[in-house]
Amino acid sequence: MDIFDPINHSQALLAELSQAINSNNESEVKTVLGALASHLEQIKTNTSTLQQQITLLSKNQSMTLKQAPIIIAKPELKSGCYIFSGEKGFFCPRCYDNHGNKVATTRLNSKQRICPACRSSLK
């Protein structure tokens, strides 16, 4: 459905109407006014149909968004630290579990890591 064709045709009919009024041709004015009214009614119908489709689509989209489960990425536990998919590094489990913060740990020695935020020692 193209809403612009009837609008463009209505604009052309308005130009014809203007010329018919200038030439004082009453029968031509009535004919053009009838055609213009028909095209304006078609525009009104098309607009109403499009509005209904938009309303239906927005309802469907909001229902889809409400039904979509929220997937929370669960971290893996390795060497006492959390590892998140798509991110590099080892993160402090205490900071993440208690505050939801992803704090990267630093290596203290070959067997131990430490969190710079909460100072917890991780093996």
Q: Count of CB atoms within 10 A of residue 56's CB?
A: 10
Residue 47 shares a structural domain with residue 81: no
62 and 93 share one domain:
no
83 shares a domain with 43: no
| pLDDT tens-digit series, residues 56-111 | 888 887 777 666 566 666 789 888 899 988 889 999 999 999 988 999 999 989 88
Are residue 81 and residue 57 in the same domain, yes or no?
no
Q: Which domain holds residue 62?
A: 4-67
Backbone CA torsion sign across 43, 46, 51, 57: negative
- 116 closest CA partner among 97, 108, 74, 75: 108
Q: Do 11 and 63 reside in the same domain of the chain? A: yes
Least-confidence region, from 1-10, 14-23, 62-71, 81-90: 62-71
Residue 116, pLDDT > 90, answer yes
